[in-house]
């Protein structure tokens, strides 16, 4: 069993009240409804949001439209926009502890982990600010003496940004600063489960000098608020992170008006391990990759594809190291695995485990829920003797469940890795660089880690193949994703000899 950290009681905590942000003003929704968030690790209400309706979503969209068409933001110099983004990054840094607390109690994430995520978000905001000043077009003076071509990059317009509950502050940071750097205006809908930190970001952006209407934040459900954000004709682009199922719906909605769509969706990410790997380094990475964020992570290393000769030893060593993992109170700085987001999601995870066991998989470690008397928690769980056809080997469990499969040859390992609908990330472990490079080139995934796992940097693009999404976030082209190109074809001097002879 892992080390259990009993959650502290926070029933005396003050419930944080939040309004929605539309056109630079904080206020209630059109019908006065509210949403309450019960902390998944503590079982008490910690936040109350003003709940947006479809009418509020439209108000936010039209505010963003007006700010783009008539406001100063798209017309500022890149240096001016960059300066505001840099100020926002510094203000985020100043309020790091406040933001971290909100994400910890609303999402059940370990507080130490969240602090690291927010520090990473600060770096992304600063990177986006730098890219704002690097955005440029092209010129072509090679088209003959009579022609000059210029290609402009212009902001695409109004962007709907829809973010999930598992990384509330970090993921909005992978989208919003790049859209702003390009000169776009935005409507942001965080998950209705974890909206607090995004609403604090709204306060920060106003203080940093972002003009009214440039960033609007509404809290509500997908059918009521997310739907108009994906169908409204005043929206030019959608940037969505969430489940593959909702991603398909988002894409179908966007097709009605042919909006540009960027989707970061699910993953079922393999780590392929060869007998010559540095197993001590890998065991640590396997535990981190599987249990980080309680497995509620699209990038989780949830599939181990182990060479058959080392499989039993590796499983035993992962189980042994998992005994030292601390599970429980999200507010304890030593906790490594926090709470599961909702009771319904905990039930879903447990269903995958019981279904796999019924189908012939072996529960080698964990497999049970944890009853602290408050919140919802689950032990890290290792399933071995998993076969590629099992649901737990093919579908995204989104919980602390590790599926172990085995292989004999490199080709077999690659086939197993690719034999699913996802392609977000993968890992390969071998001291032979030829082996790593062969696997890295043949596994169909947006990121392949070699002798490491779940590393990242603002400079490196992130996104997936197949049903893991469309497009890429981060990296030096991230701002360009929020632009359109316009060609100016200019003739120099008088032109004669058109279509009709003279």
Per annotation, catalytic residue among 58, 192, 264, 473: 264
94 assigned to active site: no
Residue 21 bridge partners (DSSP): 26, 217
297 assigned to active site: no
DSSP string, 454-498: S---TTS-B--EETTEES-BSSTTTGGGGEEEEEEEEE-S-----
Phi/psi at 488 (5° precision): -110, 110
Kindly give, in sequence order, each residue whose CB lies less than 8 Å from that of residue 355, ignoring residues fewer than 6 positions away. 391, 392
Distance, C-alpha 346 to centroid of its chain: 21
Kindly give, in sequence order, each residue whose CB lies less than 8 Å from that of residue 312, ignoring residues fewer than 6 positions away. none
Q: What DSSP designation does 223 have?
A: I
From residue 393, how far is each of 7, 346, 359, 380 by CA, in Å?
32, 18, 12, 16
Per annotation, catalytic residue among 184, 186, 297, 298: 298
How many whole angstroms separate alpha carbon 248 and alpha carbon 261? 11
The counts of H helices and E strands in the chain are 15, 27
Strand order in the sheet with 483-491: 138-140, 147-155, 483-491
The two three-digit tokens of residue 400, written as one number: 């602390």
Q: Which residues are catalytic?
A: 264, 298
């Amino acid at each position: 069993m892992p080390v259990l950290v009993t959650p502290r009681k926070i029933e005396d905590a003050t419930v944080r009240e939040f309004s929605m942000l539309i056109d630079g003003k904080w206020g209630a929704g059109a019908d006065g409804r509210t949403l309450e968030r019960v902390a998944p690790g503590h079982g008490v209400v910690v936040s109350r949001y003003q709940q947006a309706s479809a009418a509020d979503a439209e108000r936010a969209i039209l505010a963003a439209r007006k700010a783009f068409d008539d406001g100063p933001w798209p017309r500022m110099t890149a240096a001016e926009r960059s300066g505001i983004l840099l100020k926002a990054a510094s203000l985020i840094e100043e309020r790091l502890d406040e933001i971290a607390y909100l994400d910890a109690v609303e999402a059940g994430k370990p507080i130490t982990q969240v602090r690291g995520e927010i520090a990473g978000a600060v770096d992304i905001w600063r990177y986006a600010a730098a890219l704002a000043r690097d955005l440029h077009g092209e010129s072509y003076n090679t088209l003959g003496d009579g022609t000059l071509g210029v290609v402009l990059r212009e902001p695409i317009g109004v962007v709907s940004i829809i973010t999930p509950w598992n990384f509330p502050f970090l993921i909005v940071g992978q989208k919003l600063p790049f859209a702003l750097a390009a000169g776009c205006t935005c409507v942001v809908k965080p998950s209705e489960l974890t909206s607090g930190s995004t609403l604090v970001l709204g306060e920060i952006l106003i203080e940093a000098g972002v003009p009214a209407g440039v960033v609007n934040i509404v809290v509500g459900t997908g059918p009521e608020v997310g739907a108009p954000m994906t169908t409204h004709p005043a929206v030019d682009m959608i940037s969505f992170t969430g489940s593959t199922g909702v991603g398909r719906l988002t894409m179908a909605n966007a097709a009605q008006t042919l909006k540009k769509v960027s989707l970061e969706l699910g993953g079922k990410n393999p780590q392929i391990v060869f007998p010559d790997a540095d197993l001590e380094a890998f065991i640590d990475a396997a535990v981190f990759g599987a249990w980080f964020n309680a497995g509620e992570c699209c990038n989780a290393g949830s599939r181990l594809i182990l060479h058959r000769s080392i499989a039993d030893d590796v499983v035993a060593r992962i189980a042994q190291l998992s005994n030292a993992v601390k599970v429980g109170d999200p507010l304890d700085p030593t906790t490594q695995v926090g709470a599961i987001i909702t009771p319904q999601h905990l039930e879903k995870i447990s269903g995958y485990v019981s279904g796999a066991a019924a189908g012939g998989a072996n529960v080698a470690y964990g497999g049970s829920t944890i009853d602290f008397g408050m919140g919802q928690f689950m032990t890290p769980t290792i399933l071995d003797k998993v076969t590629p056809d099992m649901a737990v080997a093919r579908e995204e469990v989104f919980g602390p469940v590790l599926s172990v499969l085995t292989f004999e040859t490199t080709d077999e390992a690659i086939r197993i890795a690719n034999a699913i609908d996802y392609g977000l990330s993968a890992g390969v472990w071998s001291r032979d660089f030829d082996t790593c490079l062969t696997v890295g080139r043949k596994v169909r995934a947006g990121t392949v880690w070699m002798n490491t796992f779940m590393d990242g940097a603002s400079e490196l693009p992130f996104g997936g193949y197949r049903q893991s999404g469309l497009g890429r976030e981060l990296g030096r082209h991230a701002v360009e994703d929020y632009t359109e190109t316009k060609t100016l074809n200019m003739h120099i001097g008088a032109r004669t000899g058109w279509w009709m002879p003279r």
